[in-house]
Structure 1
Amino acid sequence: MLAGSLFIAPAVAAKPALQVMSSSALVLDVNSGQTLYQKNPNQVRPIASLTKLMTALVVLDAKQNLNDVITVDESDRDLLKGTHSRIRMGTKVTRRDALHLALMSSENRMASALARHYPGGKPAFIRAMNNKARQLGMRSSRFYDSTGLTTRNVSTARDLSKLVAAAYRQPLIRQFTQDTSREMRFNSPAYTLMFNNTNPLVKNSDWDVHLSKTGYTDEAGRCLVMRAKPDNRELAIILLNAQGKRTPVGDANRIRQWLRS
């Protein structure tokens, strides 16, 4: 270099901005606890069927016999949103299978029946849900039913990261939310149905999904929470209030690509 000449360091390319379409988002590195990305993480929103992770925790905390048979009846019909269910009235099912379908395929009638067959019925179940939320430090979360059909079930992305962590500690919740599909044979009445996971990413081995749950109502938008290990990095991903059926999956893939960069 000549005396008096000015040295100019080579330019370093800036990391591209992450464009997440969900209204609220949180991405955590599970091992370090580091927040990798956040967008409105403390905004309180309806959470739709993400509720069912809390439903599962309450059922398992109560240590009810999972082999007990429970019955779906008219009180499990959705009169709030009028959503369709293929589960017939009068269907008898084990508590284990009801929990499986509530988590994997977000079956509302199963989630309702689980709460109804809790000691003290649905009122006691809802109290247990809110007690569990307080125990987990979910200060901005409130629960009013076991399905998530009501808009009064609310939380934040930050609170839901605590719910995901608690749910992950339950092997049965991990197993049921990882299952891609399940043929369910009911004996009374006798019929057989195939159920699929509501999160298409569980079928993608590159994502290595360890736990997931989706949710949707008009008010909550499309929601997705996951614990996954893409590219050998353990992540917790919470996405709330996306518009468009494929948007949460698109956001998850955008997050993954951004982290690679």
Structure 2
Amino acid sequence: MAKRWILGACALSTLLVPCPLLARDAASARAALDARVQAEAALLLDAATGEILYARRPNAQHPPASTVKLLTALIVWEATGLKGEVKVDLSDTRVEPSHVPLRAGETVPVRDLVTALLVGSANDTAMALGRHVAGSHEAFMRLMNQRARELGCRDSIFKNPNGLPAPGQYTTCRDMMVIFQHVLAVPELRRICALPAYTLNTAAGTRRVRNHNKLLGVYPGMGPAKTGWTVASRHTYAASASRGGRDLLLVLLKSPNKWNDARAIFDYGFSVKAPVPAEAKVAAAAPSAPASGPSRAGYVVQRGDTLSAIARRHGVSVASLVETNRIHDPHQLQPGMRILIP
């Protein structure tokens, strides 16, 4: 498998690759793309090298809309490995569509809720999953912003797990690219993001849910993606596409039409490697090998957990957990705490 690179916070030079077109042709192609793209912020990356192929205000802050669900899904995977079930609370259901809709009191597998989150962009599943993982909606938001900072996302603040409009909630193309790359590094999440459709069974009945990504199965090579839209954010998008053995990653924020913008930018990326303006350079750093499950990625303490139960679940000793995490009082575990598994 080709080595993948994930954006980091350190200031490193981008990899220089010889341009297949003459400088004049490359500049002309770049100017033509700039004239076509309407998104206020955009970032296109070569997935294998980390080279920036196109950037427009990658550090500008904008509302993320439903792309924030990528981070929600990543945290849920790290905490549960997509195992277990969630009992829906009434508070989980009090959101605007898109929604399943879930019904208070019903029990739904975590995997089904994550699929509904990423494919159907269901807002109620985001609420249920966050509360399940952290013990409360408030605790999950603390965990969400903490995890974002751990990933190196310094210019984002998240106020809810579903991306619905909230004062002071924003991200950047650079930060969302970091999150997207970490999601793609998890095979299960990568597969879910590329599902054309799925069948969901809940108390509301059986329904066939189609992926909101209108380019899936239409644009050549379109792969895993997450869409977003609200009136305030306009179109947002995190998407990958493959062609001729190359994988490209794209993030768009505040686009009037993400479908047109994505087509234009992907076409450009597959045809030319333009020089990267100095203002747009974003560092690349090699990630550690993707974790094979939640035990390697850490564990988020859930309601009712004890150190002994966590140790048994992950096949380690209580003493090693205490030493690794410098836990002074094993009885003071709180839902939402993140601990490392040795």
TM over 0.5: yes
Contact conserved, 2:98 with 2:123, CA < 8 A, in 1?
A: no
| Residue 172 (structure 1) aligns with | 188
Residues 1:224 and 2:237 are matched in the alignment? yes
Superposed counterparts of 1:1-261, under 5 Å: 13=25, 15-16=28-29, 17=31, 18=33, 19-62=36-79, 64=80, 66-79=82-95, 82-83=96-97, 85-90=99-104, 91-151=106-166, 152-186=168-202, 189=203, 191-204=205-218, 206-209=220-223, 211-243=224-256, 247-259=257-269, 260=271
Give the structure-2-normalised TM-score.
0.66
2-structure distance, mates of 1:172, 1:229: 18
For 1:116 and 1:131, the matched residues in 2 are separated by 16
Q: Calculate percent identity across the aligned residue pairs.
A: 32
Q: Which segment is superposed worse, 250-259 or 95-104? A: 250-259
Q: Deviations over 1:166-211 (max 9, x none)?
A: 111111110111000011123xx361111011112222372241x2
In 2, the alpha carbon distance for the partners of 1:68 and 1:158 equals 33
Change (3 A) 1:103 1:86: closer
For residue 67 of structure 1, report the CA deviation from its aligned partner.
4.0
Runs of 4+ in 1 over 4 A off after TM superposition: none
Matched with 1:3 is: none
Backbone CA RMSD of aligned residues:
2.1
State the one-letter code of the partner of 1:83: P
In the aligned structure 1, how far is the partner of 2:114 from the partner of 2:196? Answer: 15
What SS class does the counterpart of residue 113 from structure 1 fall into?
Answer: helix
Distance 1:157 1:65 in 2: 27
AA paired with 1:237? Answer: L
> Structure 2 stretches of 5 or more lacking a match?
1-23, 273-342
**Distance in 2 separating the partners of 1:194 and 1:101:** 10
Counterparts in 2 of 1:158 and 1:67: CA distance versus 1, 3 Å: closer
TM-score (normalizing by structure 1): 0.85
Q: Following the alignment from structure 1 to structure 2, what is the Cα–Cα distance between the partners of residues 61 and 240?
A: 26
Write the distance in 2 (CA, Å) between the matches of 1:159 and 1:258: 22
User: Are the structure 2 counterparts of residues 164 and 84 from structure 1 closer, same or farther at C-alpha, using a change threshold of 3 Å?
Assistant: closer
Aligned to 1:7: none
Q: What secondary structure is seen at the aligned counterpart in 2 of 1:76?
A: helix
CA contact (8 A) 2:99 2:125 kept: no
- Structure 1 stretches lacking a partner, 5+ long: 1-11
Q: Is the 8 A contact 1:24 1:41 kept in 2?
A: yes
Distance in structure 1 (CA, Å) of the matches to 2:81 and 2:175: 29
Is the Cα contact below 8 Å between 1:49 and 1:148 reproduced in 2? yes
